[in-house]
Structure 1
């Protein structure tokens, strides 16, 4: 039997899907768990909360914080990062305009874009290039943390961090490490909704896109829209790096898959 609460949760799930593509339509119990503490704090029912969001735009930021998954860490999925450093980066040594633009989509608290910057700096391959890493997320709170560049020493952010990285790319701040300025200046943080109709205009052309462990939260319709935008944003011959459990085979014919012994990724056809 469908209860009124389930109907209202369904309406809220549809609203979330239309806004940012995250799909809770078939997982209403999980959505309820994520918001129940907040609606109790406000003293509202699910239906009243739905109306509250529409009247109080700032509450939408709170909702996004509640429903998005922000689990990440430095040097995540080392095999793909090694491929990026050793096989992809060298292709841009002789780039025509000495300008390399990389987009870290759904960057969460910043570990991924900072890792990309560290790998580029450590490689020494693009010393004569202007490198810009655009790091975006829909969650305002995680972006604020990312921009500060401070990470607790005992946090899971450092679970797979190589030992040499601490002295080379961080400054010791007591209980925290802070990302050094030489890395931080490479990264520009922006608040972006991946379903934004003006995505290409807001991001600009890029050579490489990282969008790892993100597409698993979208349905096929939303994924097709996002991948189509990625294709438009990538320069011909540019690279799309997804999570190890994500595949776009059959979704867009404009990409060819690159298979290596331990990883696979995509290249925009020229």
Structure 2
């Protein structure tokens, strides 16, 4: 493929959603090669085509994003949420619910896990918790909204004993998340790089954005983290992937360290 055109496509992807393939053009090339063959287009033609065809842009996003996830991922983080963070908000009433944003929620395992944890705590009354789950990939969002998962899939590889029977209904070879969990979660198609994220999501108390920033360069990270800071209430908590850190960019968060994980709190002196 023409490296100049590949560079142009990588630049377009970066400007659109912040995902950085500029330093990894061979990976981008491998992800789109079959699509170019399907369309019968050269890379030069495709660069123009994807900019004017919204449906093709959606397909491109499906090709370049990674959506591997599973229920009850990262036990230590979930335990911190359940035993330390959620109890801080137990006095919330229906008029001002606890609001949690799962950024880049993929096929829904993470927000549904949070819904199960919320139920397990018995801290909150019906209607006092909202989980907003967003992703840029429309295909995985459609799967998430269906809440239907193949029984033998890797989605269940860390499922605690008894939780499948408690929170899922059998439908042939699939399990479907029960309504008591589904009604807590609202899915939204969203580009985290969009300037309107704040108005789309609204103020929240907790953000989970795990293993997302690893695909961004430092400037894109700064932009996204500023958005996180802007929409978090005080106190507000940000959880990233275990390999991600934002301490060096001085984003206005206090780092909370525990024996097993670290996460971030929006500083009390902010407004």
Q: Does TM, normalized by the shorter one, top 0.5?
A: yes
Report the alpha carbon displacement of residue 128 of structure 1 after superposing the two structures with TM. 5.7
SS in 2 for 1:163: coil
What is aligned with 2:15?
Answer: 18
What is aligned with 1:59?
Answer: 56
What is aligned with 1:151?
Answer: 149
Report the alpha carbon displacement of residue 129 of structure 1 after superposing the two structures with TM. 5.5
Which one of the candidate residues 69, 73, 78 is aligned to 1:76?
A: 73
What is aligned with 2:172?
Answer: 174
TM-score by length of 1: 0.96
CA RMSD of aligned residues (A): 1.2
What is aligned with 1:39?
Answer: 36
TM-score by length of 2: 0.96
Aligned ranges for residues 113-152 of structure 1 at < 5 Å? 113-127=111-125, 130-152=128-150
Q: Distance in 2 between matches of 1:55 and 1:225?
A: 26
Q: Check conservation: 2:92, 2:124, Cα contact below 8 A.
A: no
Report the alpha carbon displacement of residue 94 of structure 1 after superposing the two structures with TM. 1.8
- Can you list the C-alpha shifts for 1:82-106, whole angstroms capped at 9, x where unaligned? 1000000000012365510000000
Q: Distance in 1 between matches of 2:37 and 2:127?
A: 52
Which one of the candidate residues 205, 208, 214 is aligned to 1:207?
A: 205
**Structure 1: gaps of 5 or more residues:** none
Q: Check conservation: 1:140, 1:191, Cα contact below 8 A.
A: yes
Q: Check conservation: 2:206, 2:237, Cα contact below 8 A.
A: yes
Between Structure 1 and Structure 2, how many residues are aligned?
267
Q: Distance in 1 between matches of 2:54 and 2:86?
A: 42
Over 3 Å counting, the alpha-carbon distance change for 1:50 and 1:150 in structure 2 is same
Q: Check conservation: 1:134, 1:189, Cα contact below 8 A.
A: yes
SS in 1 for 2:188: strand
Q: Check conservation: 2:19, 2:215, Cα contact below 8 A.
A: yes
Q: Check conservation: 1:224, 1:252, Cα contact below 8 A.
A: no
Q: Check conservation: 1:100, 1:129, Cα contact below 8 A.
A: no
Q: Check conservation: 2:226, 2:251, Cα contact below 8 A.
A: no
Deviating 4+ runs (over 4 angstroms): none
Residues 1:259 and 2:257 aligned together: yes
Q: Distance in 1 between matches of 2:251 and 2:47?
A: 39
Report the alpha carbon displacement of residue 259 of structure 1 after superposing the two structures with TM. 0.5
What is aligned with 1:237?
Answer: 235
Q: Distance in 2 between matches of 1:24 and 1:89?
A: 37
Worse overlay, 251-260 or 171-180 = 251-260
